[in-house]
Structure 1
Amino acid sequence: MDFINNYGSSDEEDNSTVDNTKSTSTLMTVNSAPDTGFDISTSGHLYTAPTATELTVNVTYDDLNRPTLGPENPFQDRRLATQNVVNGHVEQQAISEMDFRTQHRTFETYGYARDPSLGTATNLAGQTGQGLMGTGYVGNLEVAAKLGGVSIYDRVSQDLRPNRDARNKRESKGKLDEVEGPDAYKGPWAGYEDDNVGIATGLNQEQIEDVQAIINPAKALTTKNIAQETHTESTIFHGASERDYLGRTYMAVPQDIDVNLLGESGEQECFVPKKLIHTWDGHEKGVSSIKFFPKSAHLLLSGGMDNKVKIWDVYHDRSLLRSYIGHTKTVRDIAFNNDGTKFLSASYDRNVKLWDTETGQCIRTFSTGRLPYCVTFNPDKSKNNVFLAGYSDKKIVQFDTNTGEIIQEYDQHLGAVNTITFVDDNRRFITTSDDKTMRAWEYDIPVVIKYIAEPDMYAIPAVTLSPNKKWLACQSLDNQILIYGARDKFRMNRKKRFAGHLIAGYACKPGFSPDGRFISSGDSNGNVWFWDWKSCKILKKLKAHDKVVTNTEWHPHESSKLATCSWDGLIKYWD
């Protein structure tokens, strides 16, 4: 029967073979739907239709940026695209207002605060300063470890509280009858001792002074003459001899001409100049300012962008007489004293220098560390040793040339001071600034007595006083010359307006004829314009230079003589 049991058909043999194979091999599972990385039913994420325009619940940022279908692209990182910028790596953080103020006060009191980039901070009690990195606090980590990372509102044990004796003590209130000096009355505004200690490092000197002025208002007047005597100034005399056969220098007023240079200005009738009679060519670069010698006007002083000041002869051979060398940058403004024996030069090297006109010696240097934009002597005979300088830090500083000290400071402007003009018998002066205002001051009193500001006003970079001392010609940056009264009320004269020229942001100083009949001004195209004072009509337009004309100076004793200077480096004399 064995052979019957062993007998089988061919189909049975095939089946037995297949069965044996299945028992000895491993099957491979093929999944036609790959896993996308998360299970919709268990993930708890909110999914919306791609075309939905409104969401009724708050959706996380990750859910909003998930792909619509399929897995995320492993080669695309949306976060890095917005975080990596040119200046570095940007990460947005959010902190509540109360938490911020708490940590800010904690840092001011204890010197440490919780790191806002971390959610929660661990307890620091018992840890040393070496093991505090990564604990979630910034600042003085040793104090943070000592106090256990408490905030300003948490209780601190008695032995860990700051020492009260180490706190700054309040300054004395002072005496009621004292106004100035160390015992001046401060009252409730008295500061604390060593208030200037602890100012953040990394600030420049100007920022530190501003912070100290805010901390201690009683010491706000801290401007000093910080000029260092360099003794590098020099002078060059360009004439044949410094003295003539009578021993006179070029300071002597010439008597061999047919013009009375010692007479009063404006006695003769003036006319508009017609032709060029002389050109002074000595500056290597542009000329910023020119001034005639006081009263006689037989000399002409010029300050240039080649860092030099030069003085020229107006009569005789009209040659260059002397060069004053000492500045390292452009000379912006110059000013004579009453008798012309001395003059000031203000430069972009932050220095104001006082020169002897005859010998070329630099008498003294003045500096506050800021840029001086304008300088002028006090015209009063008894106060001619005092001059005012307008600076880029919005201040007008009053210097004494005898001592070199600062005796007063006027600080009310909100922009750089451009001009200073004495009016009203030298009892007051008018200043203009980049803050588009005009302010009138009582001399030696740092309080504004008149504030002129209109919504349509522009900055005034140049001002000239009329010969009769009643009017101020103000060059406005909206291409017109405005006239203000130079008496008590300082009001604008609405009937006087001179326009037609283009100054395009340049400081083109206007000029008055000695008799007051004409007013002149340069423009940005090298032209000189003349207007009639009464009718305000344009009388003449003269092509004078190739570049902007910065100044027009009328000769006080000639009927039609006019000097102009320009950025082309030339000074021209017209008749």
Structure 2
Amino acid sequence: MGKLQSKISNRPSKYRAEKENAPAKAVLQYSPAHSDAVTSVASLPPDLCLSGGNDKTVAVYNWRCGTLVRRFVGHEREVTKVTGLLSSNWLFSASRDKKVLMWELHGTSGPAQCFLGHDLVVTGLAVSPAFRQLCTGSRDNTVRLWDIETGDCLQKAAISRNLVTHLCWIPGEPYIIQTSEDKTVRIWDTRELQVVHSFPAKQHIQMSCDVSPDGHYCISCSSGFGGDGCEATLWDLRQTRSSVREFRSHFQTTASCIFLPKGLTTFPAVATASHDGTIKMWSQETGACLTTTCLEGAGPLPSLSACETGGLLCASSNSGIHLLRVSATKGLELQKVAKF
């Protein structure tokens, strides 16, 4: 793959010359959503970005208008994860202060609910519209299931050395995918909060995961350095004995991986973001890298989220949140649109 890409990239073409000489569109510079590194982003339809950062705040930003909609203050340490319950007013944030807080987008400035119980930093956060339940995971080796409305912990499960890194819910199902520092990807049944399957362990820490909109596939991504590890792995949730394929060419830890919704491309595709400062798009069916975008000076890129309107939101450690647009007018590429 690398040799083939090298040959293609070195081949002269009139199209490439025209593309390189074309004037670049100016990237819109909006007021920053956070005063420090951004750790997590989530898209809120149709044009809002939910984010958390090292400044201990949670922000809701209108990326189309370039305006801050809400800022929530309540955490005592850095925010690690954020997510929203679609078709509702509820937003959620996890933090190093061991708390998970629920906010109301159109409510008061203070938290509407507080979920307490973890002994260490909360690093996993997933919410189910179908079951109206919240699942959290932590470096304390536990996964917890919560009643959203009452804040009660419904169930708790602990596995030795299961330092949770990420959680995601399978759409419409009572199952959760979880990645861990023990290099394992697990499937949990939330009805009894038991592990029903563990994929073969990888060689590196599994940093994040996502589930395809049809619920058939899962993707996870690995830590690494110098190209060792750093891959994303596609798993078939219907045939769980081995991985389907891997996506390789990042040179440092791949921190975030997502499936792209239909409409962004004409074929199934995934996107990854890495500590090497690049975002890559891949063909889900072949594993080929379709395009690479480098966010110069952005530092590690810890989180990605796709917008239904055809864009990608990317959190960065050094330069805020980046909005990129998927363009197919001159070959598939990611165009930088705005930064905030």
Partner of 1:358: 106
* Shift, 1:525, TM fit: 2.5
> C-alpha deviations, 1:250-306, integer Å up to 9, x for none?
xxxxxxxxxxxxxxxxxxxxxxxx96743442311110111111xx33211111111
Aligned to 1:510, the other structure's residue is in SS state strand
Partner of 1:322: 70
Whether 1:459 and 2:210 are equivalent positions in the alignment is no
Whether 1:556 and 2:308 are equivalent positions in the alignment is yes
Alpha-carbon RMSD across the aligned residues, in angstroms, is 2.1
What is the alpha-carbon distance in structure 2 between the residues aligned to residue 445 and residue 459 of structure 1? 26
Q: 1:304 aligns with which of 53, 77, 84?
A: 53
What is the alpha-carbon distance in structure 1 between the residues aligned to residue 59 and residue 116 of structure 2? 22
After alignment, is 281-290 or 532-541 more displaced? 532-541
After alignment, is 347-356 or 515-524 more displaced? 515-524
What is the alpha-carbon distance in structure 2 between the residues aligned to residue 571 and residue 517 of structure 1? 25
Partner of 1:475: 221
Partner of 1:292: 43
* Shift, 1:463, TM fit: 0.4
What is the alpha-carbon distance in structure 1 between the residues aligned to residue 187 and residue 40 of structure 2? 24
Q: Which has the higher contact order (CA 8 A, sep 6+)?
A: 2
TM-score, normalised to structure 1, is 0.48
What is the alpha-carbon distance in structure 2 between the residues aligned to residue 338 and residue 484 of structure 1? 25
Change (3 A) 1:312 1:400: same
> C-alpha deviations, 1:439-478, integer Å up to 9, x for none?
2222221332212234x53221100112332111110221
Partner of 1:179: none
Change (3 A) 1:405 1:529: same
* Shift, 1:529, TM fit: 1.6
The amino acid that maps onto 2:180 is: S
Quick check: which one's helix share is greater? Answer: 1
Change (3 A) 1:531 1:446: closer
Q: 1:520 aligns with which of 249, 264, 271?
A: 271
Q: 1:531 aligns with which of 282, 291, 302?
A: 282
- Asked whether the 8 Å contact 1:518–1:532 carries over to 2, the reply is yes
- 5+ unaligned residues in a row in structure 1: which ranges? 1-273
What is the alpha-carbon distance in structure 2 between the residues aligned to residue 411 and residue 432 of structure 1? 14
* Shift, 1:424, TM fit: 6.6
- Asked whether the 8 Å contact 2:127–2:169 carries over to 1, the reply is no
The amino acid that maps onto 2:307 is: H
Partner of 1:431: 178
* Shift, 1:341, TM fit: 0.5
> C-alpha deviations, 1:41-96, integer Å up to 9, x for none?
xxxxxxxxxxxxxxxxxxxxxxxxxxxxxxxxxxxxxxxxxxxxxxxxxxxxxxxx
- Asked whether the 8 Å contact 2:37–2:55 carries over to 1, the reply is yes
* Shift, 1:362, TM fit: 1.0
Q: How does 1:22-41 map to 2 (within 5 A)?
A: none
What is the alpha-carbon distance in structure 1 between the residues aligned to residue 277 and residue 25 of structure 2? 15
What is the alpha-carbon distance in structure 1 between the residues aligned to residue 149 and residue 187 of structure 2? 26
The amino acid that maps onto 1:285 is: D
Whether 1:392 and 2:139 are equivalent positions in the alignment is yes
* Shift, 1:429, TM fit: 1.6
Aligned to 1:362, the other structure's residue is in SS state coil
- Asked whether the 8 Å contact 2:250–2:276 carries over to 1, the reply is no
Change (3 A) 1:532 1:325: same
> C-alpha deviations, 1:90-148, integer Å up to 9, x for none?
xxxxxxxxxxxxxxxxxxxxxxxxxxxxxxxxxxxxxxxxxxxxxxxxxxxxxxxxxxx
- Asked whether the 8 Å contact 2:56–2:77 carries over to 1, the reply is yes
> C-alpha deviations, 1:532-569, integer Å up to 9, x for none?
222222222211242011122222132xx222110014
Quick check: which one's strand share is greater? Answer: 2
> C-alpha deviations, 1:329-382, integer Å up to 9, x for none?
1100011113240111101011111111112331121222332111111231xx
What is the alpha-carbon distance in structure 1 between the residues aligned to residue 204 and residue 75 of structure 2? 32
TM-score, normalised to structure 2, is 0.79
The amino acid that maps onto 2:315 is: C
Partner of 2:80: 332
| Larger Rg over CA atoms | 1
- 5+ unaligned residues in a row in structure 2: which ranges? 1-23, 224-228, 326-340
What is the alpha-carbon distance in structure 1 between the residues aligned to residue 273 and residue 46 of structure 2? 21
What is the alpha-carbon distance in structure 1 between the residues aligned to residue 313 and residue 184 of structure 2? 30
- Asked whether the 8 Å contact 2:179–2:220 carries over to 1, the reply is no
Partner of 1:486: 237
> C-alpha deviations, 1:184-235, integer Å up to 9, x for none?
xxxxxxxxxxxxxxxxxxxxxxxxxxxxxxxxxxxxxxxxxxxxxxxxxxxx
